[in-house]
Amino acid sequence: MADTRTTGIPSKVTQGSKTKGGIGESTLRPDGTLKVTGEFAYSSDMWHEDMLWGQILRSTVAHAEIVSIDTSEALAQPGVYAVMTYDDLPTAVKNYGLEIQDTPVLAHGRVRHHGEPVAIVAADHPETARRAAAKIKVEYRELPVITDEASATAPDAILIHDNRDDHHIGHVPHPNIVHRQPIIRGNADEAAKKADFVVKGEYTFGMQDQAFLGPESGLAVPGEDGGVDLYIATQWLHSDLRQIAPVLGLPEDKVRMTLSGVGGAFGGREDLSMQIHACLLALRTGKPVKIVYNRFESFFGHVHRHPAKLYYEHGATKDGKLTHMKCRIVLDGGAYASASPAVVGNASSLSVGPYVIDDVDIEAIALYTNNPPCGAMRGFGAVQACFAYEAQMDKLADAVGMDRVEFRQLNAMEQGTIMPTGQPVDSPAPVAELLRRIKAMPLPPERQWESSEGADVRQLPGGLSNTTHGEGVVRGIGYAVGIKNVGFSEGFDDYSTAKVRMEVVGGEPVATVHTAMAEVGQGGVTVHAQIARTELGVTQVTIQPADTQVGSAGSTSASRQTYVTGGAVKNSCELVREKVLELGRRKFGTYHPAWATAELLLEGGKVVTDGGEVLADLADVLEGEAVEVEAEWRHRPTEAFDLRTGQGFGHVQYSFAAHRAVVEVDTELGLVKVVELACAQDVGKALNPLSVVGQIQGGTTQGLGVAVMEEIIVDPKTAKVRNPSFTDYLIPTILDTPTIPVDVLELADDHAPYGLRGIGEAPTLSSTPAVLAAIRNATGLELNRTPVRPEHLTGTA
């Protein structure tokens, strides 16, 4: 059980009803019981009469010219309805992409990474489709692979993409660099002369997979009007629509998209996977087509977290004050751009961490290579940077001779601090307080495996493998803190839309909320109902399925949905209240003494004012009418970072989390048991405390995974993925997950609805370096890469 402590200063909350189930309460998820009992319908569970099955043929090499493709044997297979290659695509638009349209629907001319889609098949049975795809003959002429910065930027390097014309090409030093962002503030070289201590470090961050449990899947149904209905698990319906429609040659209103059950996302569903392929096959055959990836395909079918090389230098005075920071961050974006430009922006602008450093010299780049494409994953860019700068903080504290937590507190940013981009932090930044709280939390008992109730080997490194009874086991404790932006940045028009309807059904007031928000497990459907109850004073709230029949809600990523779509739901509810008040005016006269100054509230189905005067039962006010509003909501604008200096008001909001890790390490076998990962986080306002704790614990566990076990292994000679399965790609199970006590601090951000902050990403940052710091504390080893493996601890690497 989690140890949940909610403390701190209450945030500002707009006055609303005290209806049960409103904001601030731990209401239960409407989909929770269905999911734990196995009754929830995921996108892979969909079925349609006369349905065909789609299958994708993927490249077996990472970089090669396509000499020929022979589909004749596949077409001759009984039960096969269609086989399509690049030449069968219906329009001149054959590429797609989140920002840069550099990804082909099907490979043409050459393949650029292992597992790239080459052809698609539709058949009357999934096994028939797989056998048919295997009969497609593709002749490749292999090319040299580009796998790192040296091979990507060599003078004679093969260009991953010929004739680039995207808007980043003008400011990168080589066409195999997707994007470059420098940030220069002050004079790092001059400031370095004031340093009494200088530490340097080179860090390697491994490629992490989102490892969601529901593989990519969807169902495309051709419409009688020549359009198509797509039922899909995604993170952003309208972004998918924008990329899909041009390839199909259809107007957007003829590509109707409905969100189906999503089995996790974490950034891996921001890019398209099988959406276009299913629609193409459905329109070609005139029949519904379902595609469901198996686990092997899923590892090839979505982007991953960028692996990175990070080079850092920090200086400090003998009193422990930071003097300067220099860093260079090299992110491997793989074969296609995906979200790499945004990841570069995050990595560079957050590379200093939550510290005050006036003089910095920063550069971040993302490469095009023949490695698997990388894009969005929880906390992107900031996660990699946090791993490096927190290791640097420990090294520098040790050099100065200060306690590691006190050193961080001495240099911690606070409200009013100027970021390296020149942007002031204009909301609470309780970095020092989070560190104080996390250090003050009680430590777990030592040698728990020797409890009075009897030995429990599950508490030991190696667990049930029974590899040790405590011999050679050493405890370590480590701390880390991180900073993450909330929402889309750098001038992106990050808005959301909500439609709210209010009416009386069976004598009871009912609110209906309709958005295009993708519920991927974060609990947005719960929060939206809570907002409606608070703002409208009703108990009954219906959340309609997300689809493209309502305006865009943006992406379920960047910790933005409760902030932005929650803001849209709140805004629409307020407009509904105004309309109900106008109906009340029409019903009861043109003047009421309270109307001029009081905000309309709804309590128990009665329209009231702040003065508590009841106007009428809601049924009488609405008089059989329904009040409906569809409205957008935008946060304050941001701006792009200057491409020379990196200056600019680039981020909407910042969130902060701190961790303390306690580990037990078997120094002889190199095995690690994470005993506890305590977290303190400022959430602004906990709209649903239970969900807040769940988000923090989930993010913490993913950070644990990349610290000690998760990494996609790519062969450096062939650029082929070596471990595309859960047999070889390990993720934490319940036996690996430690106790995660959570201390929730609530300091309102006045710019945000209800004062809230984005929650889900920040704990993913600091959990990884905290675990590494604890392992270093136990072993005395430097450990400058993730994940840490046994051979790194025993000297056999």
724 token code pair: 């595309």
Q: What number of other Cβ atoms are within 10 A of residue 697's Cβ?
A: 19
- Distance (Å, rounded) from C-alpha 447 to C-alpha 747? 37
Pick 424-484+653-794's CATH classification: 3.30.565.10, 3.40.50.300, 3.30.365.10, 3.40.50.720.
3.30.365.10
Q: In the predicted model, what is the mean pLDDT of residues 400-426?
A: 98
205 token code pair: 């961050």
Instruction: Print burial letters for 305-342: b (CB count within 10 Å at least 16), e (below 16).
Output: bbbbbbebbbbbeeebbbbbbbbbbbbbbbbbbbbbbb
Could you identify the residue written with the tokens 């039960």? Answer: 79
Of the candidates 313, 477, 318, the one whose C-alpha atom is nearest the C-alpha of residue 404 is: 477
Counts for the chain of helices (H) and strands (E), in that order: 18, 30
Q: How much of the chain, in percent, has pLDDT values that exceed 90?
A: 86
155 CB-near residues (< 8 Å, 6+ apart): none
* Per-residue pLDDT at 618: 76
Give all strands of the β-sheet with 217-222 in edge-to-edge order.
80-84, 117-123, 52-58, 289-292, 217-222, 228-232, 255-259
Q: In the predicted model, what is the mean pLDDT of residues 119-142?
A: 98
Instruction: Print burial letters for 729-741: b (CB count within 10 Å at least 16), e (below 16).
Output: bbbbeeebebebb
176 token code pair: 């195999």
- Distance (Å, rounded) from C-alpha 328 to C-alpha 202? 10
- Please state which of the ranges 358-372, 457-471, 622-636, 746-760 shows the lowest mean pLDDT: 457-471
pLDDT of 120 higher than 80: yes
* Per-residue pLDDT at 17: 43
Distances from the Cα of 121 to the Cα of 95, 289, 474, angstroms = 19, 10, 55
pLDDT of 400 higher than 70: yes
Q: Are strands 742-745 and 4-7 parallel, antiparallel or unpaired?
A: parallel
- Please state which of the ranges 31-35, 105-109, 451-455, 730-734 shows the lowest mean pLDDT: 451-455
20 CB-near residues (< 8 Å, 6+ apart): 533, 539
Task: Name beta bridge partners: 672.
Answer: 665
529 CB-near residues (< 8 Å, 6+ apart): 21, 27, 30, 513, 541, 543
Could you identify the residue written with the tokens 């909001």? Answer: 653
- Distance (Å, rounded) from C-alpha 531 to C-alpha 576? 13
Q: In the predicted model, what is the mean pLDDT of residues 232-261?
A: 98
32 CB-near residues (< 8 Å, 6+ apart): none
pLDDT tens per residue, range 297-352: 999 999 999 999 999 999 999 999 999 999 999 999 999 999 999 999 999 999 99
- Distance (Å, rounded) from C-alpha 503 to C-alpha 628? 9
pLDDT band at 599 (very low <50, low <70, confident <90, very high): low
pLDDT tens per residue, range 686-714: 999 999 999 999 999 999 999 999 999 99
Of the candidates 180, 146, 172, the one whose C-alpha atom is nearest the C-alpha of residue 64 is: 146
163 CB-near residues (< 8 Å, 6+ apart): none
pLDDT band at 3 (very low <50, low <70, confident <90, very high): very low
Q: Fold for 8-40+495-634, please state it.
A: Aldehyde Oxidoreductase; domain 4 (3.30.365)
Could you identify the residue written with the tokens 């349905």? Answer: 51
Instruction: Print burial letters for 12-34: b (CB count within 10 Å at least 16), e (below 16).
Output: ebeebbebebbbbbebebebeee
In degrees, to the nearest 5, what angle opens at C-alpha 147 toward C-alphas 146 and 149?
90
pLDDT tens per residue, range 549-564: 999 999 999 999 999 9
* Per-residue pLDDT at 5: 28
Q: Give the alpha-carbon dihedral of 722, 726, 731, 733, to 10 degrees.
A: -160
Residue 769: cis peptide before it, omega within 30 degrees of 0:
no
pLDDT of 9 higher than 50: no
CB contact at 8 A, 630 and 412 = no
pLDDT tens per residue, range 81-110: 999 999 999 999 999 999 999 999 999 999
Task: Give me the residue spans of the domains in the chain.
Answer: 8-40+495-634, 43-143+215-262+269-301, 424-484+653-794
Q: What is the DSSP string of 78-121?
A: TTEEEEE-GGG-SSS--EE-SSS--EESS-BSEE-STT-EEEEE
* Per-residue pLDDT at 597: 46
pLDDT band at 14 (very low <50, low <70, confident <90, very high): very low
473 three-state secondary structure: strand
Of the candidates 239, 392, 210, the one whose C-alpha atom is nearest the C-alpha of residue 306 is: 210
pLDDT tens per residue, range 212-230: 999 999 999 999 999 999 9
Q: In the predicted model, what is the mean pLDDT of residues 773-792?
A: 97
pLDDT of 200 higher than 80: yes
Domain 43-143+215-262+269-301 has CATH 3.10.129.10: no
Domains 8-40+495-634 and 424-484+653-794 belong to one CATH topology: yes
* Per-residue pLDDT at 601: 67
Mean pLDDT, the chain, whole residue set: 93
Distances from the Cα of 381 to the Cα of 212, 220, 324, 408, 489, angstroms = 20, 34, 21, 21, 13
515 token code pair: 């958005």
* Per-residue pLDDT at 2: 33
* Per-residue pLDDT at 581: 80
417 CB-near residues (< 8 Å, 6+ apart): 356, 424, 425, 429
Of the candidates 327, 231, 158, the one whose C-alpha atom is nearest the C-alpha of residue 719 is: 158
pLDDT band at 10 (very low <50, low <70, confident <90, very high): very low
Task: Name beta bridge partners: 616.
Answer: 607
In degrees, to the nearest 5, what angle opens at C-alpha 511 toward C-alphas 506 and 517?
140
User: Is residue 82 exposed (0-12), middle (13-18) or buried (19+ Cβ within 10 Å)?
Assistant: buried
pLDDT of 577 higher than 70: yes
Could you identify the residue written with the tokens 């805004």? Answer: 571
Q: In the predicted model, what is the mean pLDDT of residues 637-662?
A: 98
Of the candidates 370, 327, 26, the one whose C-alpha atom is nearest the C-alpha of residue 182 is: 327
pLDDT of 161 higher than 90: yes
- Distance (Å, rounded) from C-alpha 759 to C-alpha 653? 11
Distances from the Cα of 615 to the Cα of 412, 580, 619, 707, angstroms = 53, 11, 11, 59
CB contact at 8 A, 338 and 271 = yes
Could you identify the residue written with the tokens 């297979």? Answer: 77
* Per-residue pLDDT at 288: 98
333 token code pair: 């974006």
pLDDT band at 459 (very low <50, low <70, confident <90, very high): confident
* Per-residue pLDDT at 613: 62
pLDDT tens per residue, range 419-430: 999 999 999 999
Could you identify the residue written with the tokens 């899923």? Answer: 298
Q: In the predicted model, what is the mean pLDDT of residues 186-195?
A: 98
pLDDT tens per residue, range 38-62: 999 999 999 999 999 999 999 999 9
- Distance (Å, rounded) from C-alpha 238 to C-alpha 240? 5
* Per-residue pLDDT at 464: 81
pLDDT of 496 higher than 90: yes
Q: What does DSSP assign to residue 370? A: S
* Per-residue pLDDT at 13: 32
* Per-residue pLDDT at 196: 98
pLDDT tens per residue, range 376-393: 999 999 999 999 999 999
- Distance (Å, rounded) from C-alpha 28 to C-alpha 9? 25
| Position 488, amino acid | F
394 CB-near residues (< 8 Å, 6+ apart): 404, 478, 773, 776
User: Is residue 714 exposed (0-12), middle (13-18) or buried (19+ Cβ within 10 Å)?
Assistant: buried
640 CB-near residues (< 8 Å, 6+ apart): 490, 491, 648, 650
pLDDT band at 587 (very low <50, low <70, confident <90, very high): confident
pTM exceeds cut of 0.85? yes
Q: What does DSSP assign to residue 443? A: P
